[in-house]
Amino acid sequence: MGSVRPTAFEYSLFTRKPEQNVFPVLSELGIGVTAYGVLAHGLFSGKAKSAEKGGHRSHLPWFHPGNFEQNMKLVDALAAIAAENQVTASQMAIAWALAKRTDLVPVVGARTMEQLESTLAALRLQLSAEDVARIEAAVPPEAVAGTRYLPQLMKMLDSER
């Protein structure tokens, strides 16, 4: 009997660094991925606001003034592609992650039945390689403004080493 090797990484259209060094090794070893942050801390949900004082996103550079506006342009680009397919940006972001790896399990929170149903609907989306390429061209990682976390926290992340 094989051993269980759980792995969890933050992975989204905004956080694609694991594709460079981590995912190839996991694929070689036959290890799947649990991906959290697929909705980029709520940016792809359409409900995220800029870093409001005291809000739980106020410490996240993606939401800081200037960064937030730039990042929302990327969200809008994804939302436009999603609308062409009659789905939401959240659903498209989840479908993109699932299309990237067949052994990936996205961790997405839901507070309401409506959110859960929307998330589950993303499982029905089947993206082609062309769809994935178009999404990635619309949301290139180098266009994301700001880091995931404050600099002192980024230094402590294994995925950034």
- Are the CB atoms for 93 and 39 separated by under 8 Å? yes
What distance in Å separates the CA atoms of residue 74 and residue 91, rounded to the nearest whole number? 15
Q: Where are the domains of the chain?
A: 42-102+110-160
pLDDT value for 48: 74
Mean pLDDT of 13-41: 91
User: How crowded is the C-beta side of 125, counted as CA atoms within 13 Å?
Assistant: 30
Q: Which of 17, 19, 9 is nearest to 99 (CA)?
A: 19
Helices (H), 17-104: 18-29, 67-84, 89-100
Number of H helices, E strands in the chain: 6, 3
Model confidence pLDDT, tens digit, residues 63-80: 888 999 999 999 999 999
pLDDT value for 19: 92
Q: Which of 41, 43, 125 is nearest to 84 (CA)?
A: 125
What distance in Å separates the CA atoms of residue 71 and residue 86, rounded to the nearest whole number? 22
Alpha-carbon separation of residue 93 from 26, 77, 116 (angstroms): 22, 12, 15
Model confidence pLDDT, tens digit, residues 82-114: 999 999 999 999 999 999 998 999 998 888 899
User: How crowded is the C-beta side of 150, counted as CA atoms within 13 Å?
Assistant: 5
pLDDT value for 13: 97
Arithmetic mean of pLDDT over the chain:
87
User: How crowded is the C-beta side of 20, counted as CA atoms within 13 Å?
Assistant: 7
pLDDT value for 109: 85
Model confidence pLDDT, tens digit, residues 31-62: 899 999 999 988 998 777 666 665 667 778 88
Q: What is the residue type of 45? A: S
At residue 147 the predicted structure's pLDDT band, cuts being 50, 70 and 90, is: confident
- Are the CB atoms for 56 and 127 separated by under 8 Å? no
